[in-house]
A and B are shown apart, each in its own frame.
Chain A
């Protein structure tokens, strides 16, 4: 099969890493070879797949080694059910250029030939603050971009902003990057699923999965596991497996049409 590369974007703290890790775990359960790449200096994307371990990041090694060579086995770690895990890492908060760190990481992974397998899941820092964080959306990397959002206005606002980045990138001639769908990671607001589904429609996409708020997510996290591993029989685990199935079967890829702020606000207002 052709390698699938997907990227998850969304507001900080919305649950991208939790969703990514559970999605990777679910996909691995389908017998697929998965690589998850955390693209955030906070480096906690793959932690639940690694049973609570903060793995050494690519940028950590570059910093320590300097010019000395690094091998793939030093930055790629095998987590739950064979999921391969990489963290880009980056500078300490407040110095340097984290965006350049992401670009450098991608170049290094490419050199290693690490970007292989059935599915690569890119878990990217919340705000696409500069070109570096749009790197996973560039030519040759993720073709399918998923937005993770709740029904809260600020979360939708962030998702809408990311639509602007996708729109810009996908309009380039050689670009293969498309918006593949919206994942609602719910906060248990009234009418939340309907609101996010309508938002998805308005930005020329669709709601691919509604993930209800469930205490099992916190319990799994406290036990340093994904829900898939911690409570495989739970409805929540089934929800992530459904997401995995839909992601693999998805053929609805679009160039998004971001909303004006007034339109976004009145949309949110109409679902109070």
Chain B
């Protein structure tokens, strides 16, 4: 039984809600993420965040604290342990504490909100993260983004954009961000806030200033809706994916800003033609890939690129090289994907 519907439009159907939330909260500098639960929940996530962080050249350790609950805390309730840990962590020279619950906490019904509503001298922000409630990694990300957004007040709007919900654990997180800034740069639009990727706690106050929010992927629709409701900011539901997706992204952004997209689209089209021309050696080759492994937008972009290069895509399991999953962000994302394809097809 699950009382919560699964997020749609994502390949990340599984995963731990807590991990998803921590992938967000640990990207706010000089804050602590307090995991209310047994030690293992924290250790496991610390290792995972540290390892994936190293892949992205992040050498700082994730600032996690555990309430380290034991059996008697479960029997008598974990509220005392939470209070003690919060008191200790609040003495550090940090800007905020995020409190993340675990499965066992929502099972025994600790009143986390009541404990967190006391005065600690710094903001204490609750992120609901009990995974057994049907949540996934993606729910954790969304819950964290909404909880953090709740600390920001509406403010005067500028002519910039926010980037919402970058996948901080993905290998190409910086490359994808660079591609978005390149595309926005063609339209002369700067980025207001990376919400949330390596920011200061006080930066969150500017969240409402952007004229447009760009979501990383459609699985974050609920976050886009929440931000629109709270700050009145419209949103584009996804980073540009594939060739035509990149062109329509430029058009959509330009339309919201009331500017023309023609010069940018023309320039980008030239880049795309140029990019494809560089991979003409793949023409006529046979390949397959498993659509079940990819996001729906990724699937579309795969077929589009294959068609443009006259690569014959066959059913998975039949002859031809099996191409790995991936969602190419922007034209440079397509180019990186084609480099991977070339390595696989010529292997």
A residues neighboring B (CB under 8 Å): 59, 62-63, 66, 90-92, 95-98, 100-101, 104
Question: Could you name 10 residue pairs across A and B whose Cβ atoms are closer than 8 Å?
Answer: A62-B72, A66-B72, A92-B76, A95-B77, A95-B110, A96-B74, A96-B75, A96-B78, A100-B108, A101-B76
Q: Does B71 contact A (CB under 8 A)?
A: yes
A258 to B72, CA, bound (A): 35
A-chain residues with CB within 8 Å of residue B110 when the two chains form the complex: 95
Contact of B107 among A59, A63, A97 (CB under 8 A): A97
B-chain residues with CB within 8 Å of residue A96 when the two chains form the complex: 73-78, 108
A63 to B75, CA, bound (A): 9
- The secondary-structure label for the interface of chain B is helix
Give 11 new A-B contacts, CB below 8 A, not counting A97-B74, A104-B75. Answer: A59-B75, A62-B75, A66-B72, A91-B75, A95-B76, A95-B110, A96-B75, A96-B108, A97-B108, A98-B75, A100-B71
From 70 to 115 in chain B, residues with beta carbon under 8 angstroms from any chain A beta carbon are: 71-79, 107-110
What distance in Å separates the Cβ of A26 from its nearest Cβ neighbour in chain B? 33
A-B contact count (CB 8 A): 41
Task: Name which residue of chain B comes closest to A105, CB basis.
Answer: B75
Task: Name which residue of chain B comes closest to A90, CB basis.
Answer: B75
Instruction: Find out whether the CB atom of B79 lies under 8 angstroms from the CB atom of A95.
Output: yes
A96 to B110, CA, bound (A): 7
A-chain residues with CB within 8 Å of residue B72 when the two chains form the complex: 62-63, 66, 104
Task: Name which residue of chain A comes closest to B111, CB basis.
Answer: A95
A-chain residues with CB within 8 Å of residue B79 when the two chains form the complex: 95
B residues neighboring A (CB under 8 Å): 71-79, 107-110
Task: Name which residue of chain A comes closest to B75, CB basis.
Answer: A101
What distance in Å separates the Cβ of B68 from its nearest Cβ neighbour in chain A? 13
A-chain residues with CB within 8 Å of residue B107 when the two chains form the complex: 97
What distance in Å separates the Cβ of A63 from its nearest Cβ neighbour in chain B? 6
A62 to B73, CA, bound (A): 10
What distance in Å separates the Cβ of A161 from its nearest Cβ neighbour in chain B? 20
B-chain residues with CB within 8 Å of residue A97 when the two chains form the complex: 74-75, 77, 107-108
A101 to B74, CA, bound (A): 8
Q: Which 8 pairs across A and B sit closest by C-beta, in order of nearness?
A: A95-B77, A96-B77, A101-B75, A97-B108, A96-B76, A91-B76, A100-B75, A96-B75
What distance in Å separates the Cβ of A229 from its nearest Cβ neighbour in chain B? 33
Contact of A104 among B71, B77, B78, B109 (CB under 8 A): B71
A98 to B71, CA, bound (A): 12
A-chain residues with CB within 8 Å of residue B109 when the two chains form the complex: 95
A189 to B72, CA, bound (A): 44
B-chain residues with CB within 8 Å of residue A100 when the two chains form the complex: 71, 74-75, 108
A101 to B108, CA, bound (A): 12
A-chain residues with CB within 8 Å of residue B77 when the two chains form the complex: 91-92, 95-97
B-chain residues with CB within 8 Å of residue A95 when the two chains form the complex: 76-77, 79, 108-110
A84 to B110, CA, bound (A): 35
Task: Name which residue of chain B comes closest to A98, CB basis.
Answer: B75
What distance in Å separates the Cβ of B231 from its nearest Cβ neighbour in chain A? 38
B-chain residues with CB within 8 Å of residue A104 when the two chains form the complex: 71-72, 75
B-chain residues with CB within 8 Å of residue A90 when the two chains form the complex: 75
B-chain residues with CB within 8 Å of residue A98 when the two chains form the complex: 75
Contact of A63 among B74, B76, B78 (CB under 8 A): B76
A96 to B107, CA, bound (A): 9
What distance in Å separates the Cβ of A238 from its nearest Cβ neighbour in chain B? 41
Task: Name which residue of chain B comes closest to A97, CB basis.
Answer: B108
| Residue from B71, B73, B79, B107 whose CB has the most chain A CB atoms within 10 Å | B71
A-chain residues with CB within 8 Å of residue B76 when the two chains form the complex: 59, 63, 91-92, 95-96, 101
Task: Name which residue of chain B comes closest to A96, CB basis.
Answer: B77
A92 to B77, CA, bound (A): 9
What distance in Å separates the Cβ of B130 from its nearest Cβ neighbour in chain A? 14
B-chain residues with CB within 8 Å of residue A91 when the two chains form the complex: 75-77
What distance in Å separates the Cβ of A57 from its nearest Cβ neighbour in chain B? 11
What distance in Å separates the Cβ of B281 from its nearest Cβ neighbour in chain A? 63
A250 to B347, CA, bound (A): 77
